[in-house]
């Protein structure tokens, strides 16, 4: 229904903006700590916090320090933490077997968090790129990223993560048919409570560069990911992918990257009305941080404004490296 507005001066739109109290009464969207998922990078070692140069303020942490980060998140009220492993290059292979090793970094970190910080939800990443000598999310055969053999491996990785105690599985690989295969395997193995947050509309984006540095995949990648990640020019395709993943058993869906694809977030939420998430990816984070460090923008205000944009676009939650800073800011009032 088209809104009706009286003519000026009967309607003065500035009346609703005259004070913070009034602005708060008519505010259409709100950002809360409960909207946040904190992505964290885990590496081998003990007592390690290693800065990621291309992501100011972000660390690679050893398992013990990841547990401390999870406790920090819990104390701040952040409901979930998402784990991404920085795998030793010697463990990256053609067969990617480290991906489903019960003792890999992700699984060890998951078990440690669930033992020490049971109140926080643990989300894990399902894709082969942290373990693939070729840097791709799937197996490479004769220069082609093959689908069905990759899905079989992703199912093994999924079950390994569920056995370790993951609450939310995050398939980021963009292979066809993987959600259905994962859901059937989880049900058959008695993991019916494990949720799937599907990276359903993941674009072949230039905004992932710092993340690939953080997980050690930049130098390994042969070619690009355009045969399985989405074309940035496409919008209708995203809706087809979302519908497919929901029909295959996804509980929640994600659009990635975030800010360049707010229109996709809005279309997804309006069309399906399902729990919709966005990932404020490494490149988005790094741009805000770099501009703030150079004094070109107010970093805190830009951080909060960028996250409110996701809520305005219909997102129920956001994966963001800003999560602890945002939580502290919101708690301060």
- Nearest to residue 81, comparing CAs of 112, 49, 54? 112
Respond yes or no: is residue 202 known to be catalytic.
Answer: yes
Catalytic option among 92, 114, 225, 256: 256
Burial environment of residue 90 by CB neighbours within 10 A (0 to 12, 13 to 18, 19 or more): exposed
Catalytic option among 92, 114, 202, 311: 202
Strands (E), the chain: 36-43, 49-51, 59-62, 80-85, 121-126, 140-141, 144-145, 168-171, 195-202, 252-256, 276-280, 317-320
CA distance 169 to 124: 5
DSSP per residue, 179-218: HHHHHHHHHHTT-TT-EEEEEEEEB--GGGHHHHHHTT-T
Respond yes or no: is residue 2 known to be catalytic.
Answer: no
- Enzyme catalytic residues: 202, 256
């Amino acid at each position: 229904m088209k809104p009706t507005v009286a003519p000026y001066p009967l309607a003065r739109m500035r009346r609703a903006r005259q004070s913070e109290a009034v602005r708060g009464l008519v505010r259409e969207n709100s950002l809360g700590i409960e909207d946040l998922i904190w992505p964290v990078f885990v590496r081998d070692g003990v007592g390690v916090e290693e800065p990621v140069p291309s992501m100011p303020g972000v660390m690679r942490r050893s398992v013990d320090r990841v547990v401390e980060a999870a406790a920090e998140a819990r104390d701040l009220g952040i409901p979930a933490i998402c784990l991404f492993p920085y795998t030793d290059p010697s463990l990256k292979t053609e067969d990617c077997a480290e991906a489903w090793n019960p003792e890999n970094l992700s699984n060890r970190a998951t078990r440690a968090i669930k033992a020490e910080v049971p109140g926080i939800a643990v989300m894990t990443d399902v894709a082969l790129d942290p373990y693939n000598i070729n840097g791709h999310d799937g197996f490479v055969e004769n220069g082609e990223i093959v689908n069905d053999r990759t899905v079989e491996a992703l199912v093994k990785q999924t079950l390994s993560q569920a056995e370790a105690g993951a609450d939310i599985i995050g398939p980021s690989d963009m292979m066809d048919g993987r959600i259905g295969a994962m859901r059937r395997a989880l049900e058959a193995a008695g993991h019916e409570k494990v949720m799937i947050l599907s990276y359903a509309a993941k674009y072949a984006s230039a905004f992932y560069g710092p993340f690939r540095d953080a997980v050690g995949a930049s130098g390994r990648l042969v070619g690009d990911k355009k045969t399985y990640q989405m074309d940035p020019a496409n919008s209708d395709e995203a809706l087809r992918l979302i519908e497919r993943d929901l029909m295959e058993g996804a509980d929640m869906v994600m659009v990635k990257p975030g800010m360049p694809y707010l229109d996709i977030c809005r279309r997804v939420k309006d069309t399906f009305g399902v729990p919709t998430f966005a990932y404020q990816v490494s490149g988005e984070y790094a741009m805000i941080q770099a501009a703030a460090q150079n004094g070109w923008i107010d970093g805190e205000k830009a951080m909060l404004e960028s996250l409110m944009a996701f809520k305005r676009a219909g997102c129920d939650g956001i994966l963001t490296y800003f999560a602890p800073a945002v939580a502290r800011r919101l708690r301060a009032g």
